Amino acid sequence: MSDQPSSKQSAFDRRAFMAGAAGSALVPITARAAAEDARVSTAQDPSLPVDVTLRVNGKDKRLSIDARTTVLDALREHLKLTGSKKGCDHGQCGACTVLIDDRRVVSCLTLALAAEGQEITTIEGLATDDRLHPMQQAFVDNDAFQCGYCTPGQIMSAVACVKEGHAGSEADIREYMSGNICRCAAYPNIVAAVKQAAPEIMKG
């Protein structure tokens, strides 16, 4: 988490809120929760933006957003990290898959506010310097895509699939990659790519 002070510009400021807590019946509870976990953003008035710090690919990013913003929209619309794709926007297609605290999740059903304090890894954070991550390289080597729209989600999901220990057989790979839909049906090549990359990833 960033230690930077809260923005003074936002109409909703945690410190101002703490100082002036009064009003609705919810306030004491909120104030208490905030006091116990001061790094957590709380949106009290839905019509106001709320300040949040997201840690994305190892860097803290400060945002002022609508409480309804998902991690996917925060990445794409606010941080201009457009690698994560919006397919269905309902958690069905997997195109928006990112890692949160090293676990694969669908970012379209994750509220940005709820992801504060957690480590978000996107496709943009996978390569080191100019060297592709082994899974990215394996997708290239095996022609594991056609249109490419699902590919960032496939790759993020595949990295987690391997680390979970679910890439031991083709049947396992198919089962544990079923949350990532490929409209071009590049599935055989995706399975081949995951198989290729798995030993190298497990080696670390």
Partner 1 sequence: MRPFSYQRVTDPTAAVQALSAAAAANDALTKAAAQPLAGGTTLIDLMKLDVMRPTAIVDINPLAQGWSAIEPGNDGLRLGALAKMSDVAAHEQIQRHYPVIADSLKLAASAQLRNMATLGGNVMQRTRCSYFRDVSYENCNKRNPGSGCAAMDGVNRMHAVLGASDQCIATYPGDFAQALIALDAMVAITGRSGTRNMPFAELHKAPGNTPEIETTLRPGELISAFSISGRWPRSVYLKARDRQSYEFALSSAAVALDVQNGTVRDARIALGGVATVPWRAREAEAVLKGQKFDDGLAQRVADAAFADARGRRHNSFKIALGKRVVARALQQAVTMEI
| Residue in 81, 120, 144, 161 binding partner 1, rule: CB under 8 A | 161
Q: What single-letter amino acid sits at 176?
A: Y
**Residue span binding partner 1 (CB under 8 A) among the ranges 13-21, 54-62, 87-95, 139-147:** 87-95
Query: Closest CB to partner 1 among 40 and 141?
Result: 40
**Are 173 and 191 within 8 A, CB to CB?**
yes
Side by side, the strands of the sheet bearing 103-106 are 59-65, 50-56, 119-121, 97-100, 103-106
| Separation of alpha carbons 34 and 51, rounded Å | 14
Q: Please identify which residue in 1, 26, 127, 184 interacts with partner 1, judged by CB under 8 A.
A: 26
Give whichever of 114 and 132 is closer to partner 1, judged by the CB atom: 114
DSSP-derived pairing of the beta strands 103-106 and 50-56? unpaired
- 48's CB contacts (< 8 A; 6+ apart) are 10, 11, 12
Would you count residue 21 as binding partner 1 (CB under 8 A)?
no
Work out which of 122, 142, 154, 157 binds partner 1, going by CB under 8 A: 157
Does residue 6 bind partner 1 (CB under 8 A)? Answer: no
User: Cβ of 22: how many Cβ atoms within 10 Å?
Assistant: 8
Contact window for partner 1 (CB under 8 A) among 15-23, 55-63, 67-75, 133-141 = 67-75
Spatial separation of the C-alpha atoms in residues 132 and 128, rounded to whole Å = 7
List interacting residues with partner 1 (CB under 8 A): 25-26, 29-30, 32-33, 36-37, 40-47, 50, 67-68, 70, 89-91, 94, 97, 103-106, 109-111, 113-114, 157, 160-161, 164, 166, 174-180
